[in-house]
Structure 1
Amino acid sequence: MRERMRIISIHMIGFWALLSLLMLSGCEHEFALSEQVGEEEVFSEKVQLEIFARANSYHLPSTKGLMDEGTVGKNPWMFVFKGEGPNATFVEAVQAFELAGKRYVILTKQSNDSKYQLLILANSPDRFYYGDAVTEYGFDETGFSAQLMQGLTTLADFCTNMLTAPLAVPSVSVIPYSGNGQVIPMSYLLEVDKIDHTTKIENTDGTPLMLTRAIAKMVIVNKATNFELKGVVAVMNVPRQGPFHTLDGLIRDNTSNLTEYRNDAAYSSLLVQADFIDGGESTENDPVYLYESDMRNNTHLIIQGAYGGRDYFYKMAIVNKDVQLMDLQRNHSYQFTIVTAKGPGYDTVEDAKASKPSNTALDYEISVDNRDSYEVVANNDFFLGVSNSVFIAYTSEGANFEVFKLITDCRTRFPNACRISDNGNEVGIGVPLLVNPSNGARIPIVDDTTSDPNITAVEAQISNGLLDHAYITLKLGTLEKTVRIRQRYAIPAAGVTIKYMPAADSSDSFDMNYYCLSAYVEDGADDPKSWIKLRPSVGAVREDTDKITVDDGTIYIEVLGNTMSKQRSGIIYLTTIKDPGVSSNTNSVQRIKLNISQLSQTVVTD
């Protein structure tokens, strides 16, 4: 009979804590409820490790009132799972402790006969829910022992069921994590080969782990000269709770577990009040936080503003530049910028709620800062990131391409260590790849004329050759990032299925050797979602072919036949992970951007 195991951690303090640090030990006892082990035996089985982690920051307003957005508590919990991927099974849960200004965790030593998944949950609340919004458990060893079973509970089970406390319905005058001193739950999953004194709880390059927030953030800015933003009255159809961590990046289906934010039952006062800024108004000092929300939830805002000397209410949908509903994802910051007002809204909140969104009455833009969609390196002063570290062009003619975007919050103007360069002269093309910025140019950083962080689109000229070993290198201070450029021929008009999988590839093949986790097709002028289909290597035919997550490393990209008389193109982003069948200490998690050009149908005339 299997017994539930309780993990109890006892940390020595004062003199004994200092002594244990000198001896590479803090003392922690771990025992089953039915049997306590000797202290000497426990000591020999333990290892003390330092945790290096920081918040994976989205852009923060300059106000210091929101400093808690970036706070990482000193005592995060670490959940250890044995095995690879989502099927890894629970081993133990241990809370870190602070000593001399640093974070440490004491884990049970584990041999190198298996992979281990270390899931860090920082800023944990005092309670959690498991698989529902009904029963609460203390965020402690007693609560964990009620749901987590050693050797049985999988990482997938944990991530699916470990949920935050539900908000009330409605959530009156309560926006989660907006109170003074409240911190936002964050998470990170790290895979290691073993657990001993050599284990590093940091990135492979020595930089801190970038924790991801469990929520999204929304800010409204008004720049319209014929409109005055008063504030937000309500936020409708928002999830009541969310998972502490997601494995696949997909948003949990919470369409049946929604609530609304409002200040009172009659909507008689503002939930969030806008402040005056240069050129308009903004809710920057009082943002709205919400758990990630699928577009099917139809999350929207009711705002109040003055137009033509009168106050009106407007319903604002969460839509992209093509006026299509969009997901609200964790650790993303969404800014709605009202550009102009075209007419009055509604006299009452009830009428605004019943109406269609005011996308015609208000012109507004949505900008998304999703820093977790960038591959980022960082030090204590600034970060440097790229939207993708591999760019692959399927093209048979020379052209300029946007190969990636770079992002940085650096403000230091280094005399020399601030360059972008390529190896075009070394790979046989005889000319630089870079077009904008040019080869050897300075990396654009943050100053008084730019946004913070500064995002720059990098363009390169891809010739009609078959590039495979071309690189663009970014050097900024002590940070360095490299983007690989690869090329294959354009896709024929008849169509083809491209295989991205762990297998050898060659320059004359459309297929590529990568161990894939997920992919999605980006919207585009040539409607690529209608002719580029993402499919698994096995299983039933899927209807949602514009995005996919797999567990065997293989993604098939089916390009349908082109019956048109003009060439077309589309963009795909893939995320790869380390191949579990290959022994390597390198970090293979990367984003790949594919620009697929397909030739047109040949027209034969007499």
Structure 2
Amino acid sequence: MKKNLLHIGIWILMTLLVFMGCEPPQVLDGLEVGDDKVKLELTLQTNPYQLPLAPQTRANGDDVISTIWLLVFRGNDANATFVEAVLAESEGGKSYVEITRQTSACQLLALGNPQGQFYANGVAYDFTKANLETVLTNMPLALASETLLTVPLNNPQTTLPLVSNPIPMSGLVSMSQISFATPIPPINMKRAVAEVIVRNTDAAFTFLGITTLLSTPKQTQWYNIDGLLAYNTGSSKLVDYKIDASYSSDFLAAVDMGGNVQSTEDNPVRVFESDTDANDTYLLIRGTWKGETMYYKMRIVDSGKNPLNLERNTVYTLTITRVNARGFATVRDALAGKPSNTALDFVITVQDNWSYEISSNNEYYIGVSNSHLELYAPGGTTQYTAFTLVTNCNTQFVDRKHIRSLTSGLTIVSPTSDSYGAVIPLGTTTPLEVKVTVTSAFKEGTLEIHLGSIKKYITVRRRDRVAVGTTISSNFSLNASAYYASAYVEGYPMTDGTGYMNNSTPTSTPNTANWLQLSPGGQAIRNDPHHVYSDTGLIDLHVVSATSGTGTVYVSTGKTEMQRIKVIVTM
């Protein structure tokens, strides 16, 4: 009898196991959904345009991600080969993808907010799994980045574009393998557009609106793997924003903000990334000065009047501070004339949404300008800004609102400290400079930020001063295999000052007083030594002349690891 009961029990157990095998068993990080498929949660992160600046109300889908396609590439670099396209599913407020198991390294490219169609090699395709997999069959990641384009704008574009639907976004992460036990890392999504805002603060001038934006790209790559902009140049790839052929009214009206300020910040102009110099991109604005209504021609330039590229996920605010002279009487005269750079004094603020590394929970965020400081300086009492911090946290934690040094010889001198560490001011989004000193014995260490439930670590490495003629070659990170995507010299006056200042053709001659200059790794210094992109992952920093003082360079890594690095060089 006992033997029969044992046999029956075994039979029941085996039957239950068979039926349980038909259902995907729940696991910690994912679900098995078949012999070769796993179901994993997808977490996407976006930085609101107002971060890390003061929060404001913004509409028009700035941060919404409605639909997500995940493209899987097998490999760990730009040569990774396309495997499959998967549409994410929403369950219980979360997003999941069912993707094929992979035992080797893979890269996952997320495309958010598809526009119904994508373009490849000049052909429009509906955004479907079959079309994506047909177009991308066996294609390497780098080529896929070049191939997949957004829907083109009209020419002319007579309405404010990219406002009625969520903005196209993309992001890339790497995985060591694809399995139910390996979660997908959070994917940082970048918008495919830049925003341009014009403000006026001169009480003697009334800014009425933007009449036209000329020669701006009609479409863009869904994902730009190398950050280069040459693909988006040439007259056949450009469109004009204007209300009609006769410019009968402004394309975008300015709004009176009060206090003698007019602005388009509530309705920024969205554009695709552009080499503004090669494309000859500029704005015509309209306003009244001394009782006359006139037009001014504005190029998008930096403080040195040098052309400034429009880069994705970045906000450009052109603030008119003073009008010095009459503009053009008609649109026709303005189109034919030279830029109004002597007639207008203006400053431009560039807000790169990834110029801060953001950590957040459901209540507040912390943003840091860089998560690593590379310091070429002797030890002593000199104070250096290790990083800049912003937060929108208002909760007054007692012992969890501090920055601490975890390493001997690395001392925080600002902000002021209490018994728990340097205190983070709360209730304000004003950027906070965190200043440190280092001893001569200090080589490498860590700063800890602890705010409520969020912890963030800033690494610091000190090296000796560099001599004139030194080239620092792709050695800015603690990660020896970091891929250096771009870099810029802070406060760099790129050219010799002639050109735009007198309304003539601008020069591109580097100013010899600029003692820190950049180039792609292993290449000579070019005519853009203040801001370079690299398609090889290598960047060189050159100390080209003798001077005294301190220079600062910001370096960004990309591809598998995104990090902002601050490099301070003393002479």
TM-score of Structure 1 vs Structure 2, range by shorter chain: 0.7 to 0.9
How far did 1:577 drift? 5.9
What corresponds to 1:258 in structure 2?
Answer: 238
What corresponds to 1:189 in structure 2?
Answer: 172
For 2:151, which of 151, 160, 165 is the aligned residue?
Answer: 165
| Alpha-carbon spacing, 1:21–1:336, altered in 2? closer, same or farther (3 Å) | farther
What corresponds to 1:323 in structure 2?
Answer: 305
How far did 1:244 drift? 0.7
Q: Is the 8 A contact 2:116 2:127 kept in 1?
A: yes
How far did 1:23 drift? 5.1
What corresponds to 2:412 in structure 1?
Answer: 433
Deviates further, 472-481 or 566-575: 566-575
- Distance in 2 of aligned mates of 1:341 and 1:522: 30
What corresponds to 2:392 in structure 1?
Answer: 409
Q: Is the 8 A contact 1:516 1:550 kept in 2?
A: no
Q: State the secondary structure of the residue aligned to 1:81.
A: strand
- Distance in 2 of aligned mates of 1:438 and 1:322: 39
Q: State the secondary structure of the residue aligned to 1:79.
A: strand
- Distance in 2 of aligned mates of 1:274 and 1:521: 32
What corresponds to 1:284 in structure 2?
Answer: 265
- Distance in 1 of aligned mates of 2:353 and 2:22: 39
For 2:487, which of 507, 514, 520 is the aligned residue?
Answer: 520
1:122 corresponds to 2:78: no
For 1:91, which of 83, 87, 104 is the aligned residue?
Answer: 83
Q: Is the 8 A contact 1:316 1:359 kept in 2?
A: yes
Q: Is the 8 A contact 2:379 2:442 kept in 1?
A: no
- Distance in 2 of aligned mates of 1:77 and 1:197: 19
For 2:451, which of 464, 467, 476 is the aligned residue?
Answer: 476
Q: State the secondary structure of the residue aligned to 1:68.
A: coil
What corresponds to 1:69 in structure 2?
Answer: 62
AA aligned opposite 2:37: K
- Distance in 1 of aligned mates of 2:521 and 2:289: 55
How far did 1:86 drift? 0.5
1:467 corresponds to 2:442: yes
| Alpha-carbon spacing, 1:250–1:434, altered in 2? closer, same or farther (3 Å) | farther
What corresponds to 2:101 in structure 1?
Answer: 109
- Distance in 2 of aligned mates of 1:502 and 1:367: 26
Q: State the secondary structure of the residue aligned to 1:321.
A: coil
Tell me: higher relative CO, structure 1 or 2? Use CA pairs within 8 A at least 6 residues apart: 2
How far did 1:313 drift? 1.2
| Alpha-carbon spacing, 1:338–1:21, altered in 2? closer, same or farther (3 Å) | farther
1:560 corresponds to 2:541: no
Q: State the secondary structure of the residue aligned to 2:567.
A: strand
- Distance in 2 of aligned mates of 1:68 and 1:499: 41
- Distance in 1 of aligned mates of 2:356 and 2:512: 23
How far did 1:391 drift? 1.1
What corresponds to 1:5 in structure 2?
Answer: none
How far did 1:108 drift? 1.0
Q: 1:231-250 to 2 correspondence within 5 Å? A: 231-250=209-228
For 2:127, which of 114, 139, 152 is the aligned residue?
Answer: 139
Structure 2's unaligned 5+ residue stretches are 1-20, 494-510
What corresponds to 2:46 in structure 1?
Answer: 55
Q: Is the 8 A contact 1:444 1:454 kept in 2?
A: no
Deviations, residues 379-421 of structure 1 (Å, cap 9, x unaligned): 1222212111111221236422222222333344444422223
Q: Is the 8 A contact 1:535 1:542 kept in 2?
A: yes
| Alpha-carbon spacing, 1:42–1:407, altered in 2? closer, same or farther (3 Å) | closer
1:386 corresponds to 2:394: no
AA aligned opposite 2:135: Q
Q: Is the 8 A contact 2:375 2:463 kept in 1?
A: yes
Using structure 2 for the length normalisation, give the TM-score. 0.83
- Distance in 2 of aligned mates of 1:63 and 1:421: 31
- Distance in 2 of aligned mates of 1:145 and 1:409: 43
Structure 1's unaligned 5+ residue stretches are 1-18, 26-40, 204-208, 448-452, 506-511, 579-586, 599-606
| Alpha-carbon spacing, 1:58–1:412, altered in 2? closer, same or farther (3 Å) | farther
For 2:205, which of 214, 227, 230 is the aligned residue?
Answer: 227
AA aligned opposite 2:355: S
Q: 1:197-596 to 2 correspondence within 5 Å? A: 197-203=180-186, 209-256=187-234, 257-279=237-259, 280-296=261-277, 297-396=279-378, 398=380, 399-423=382-406, 426-428=407-409, 432-436=411-415, 440-447=421-428, 453-463=429-439, 465-493=440-468, 495-501=469-475, 513=480, 515-524=482-491, 531-534=515-518, 541=524, 543=526, 546=529, 547=531, 555-560=539-544, 562=546, 566-576=547-557, 589-596=562-569
| Alpha-carbon spacing, 1:62–1:221, altered in 2? closer, same or farther (3 Å) | farther
How far did 1:76 drift? 0.4
Q: Is the 8 A contact 1:251 1:293 kept in 2?
A: yes
What corresponds to 2:92 in structure 1?
Answer: 100
Q: State the secondary structure of the residue aligned to 1:481.
A: strand
- Distance in 2 of aligned mates of 1:362 and 1:550: 34
Q: Is the 8 A contact 2:44 2:188 kept in 1?
A: yes
- Distance in 1 of aligned mates of 2:513 and 2:287: 38
Q: Is the 8 A contact 1:473 1:481 kept in 2?
A: yes
AA aligned opposite 1:71: V
Q: Is the 8 A contact 1:502 1:553 kept in 2?
A: no
| Alpha-carbon spacing, 1:298–1:211, altered in 2? closer, same or farther (3 Å) | same
Q: Is the 8 A contact 1:421 1:474 kept in 2?
A: yes
Identity across the alignment (%): 32
How far did 1:21 drift? 9.0
Q: Is the 8 A contact 1:528 1:571 kept in 2?
A: no
How many residue pairs are counted as aligned between the two chains? 520
How far did 1:457 drift? 2.8
How far did 1:326 drift? 0.8
Deviates further, 209-218 or 547-556: 547-556
AA aligned opposite 1:273: A
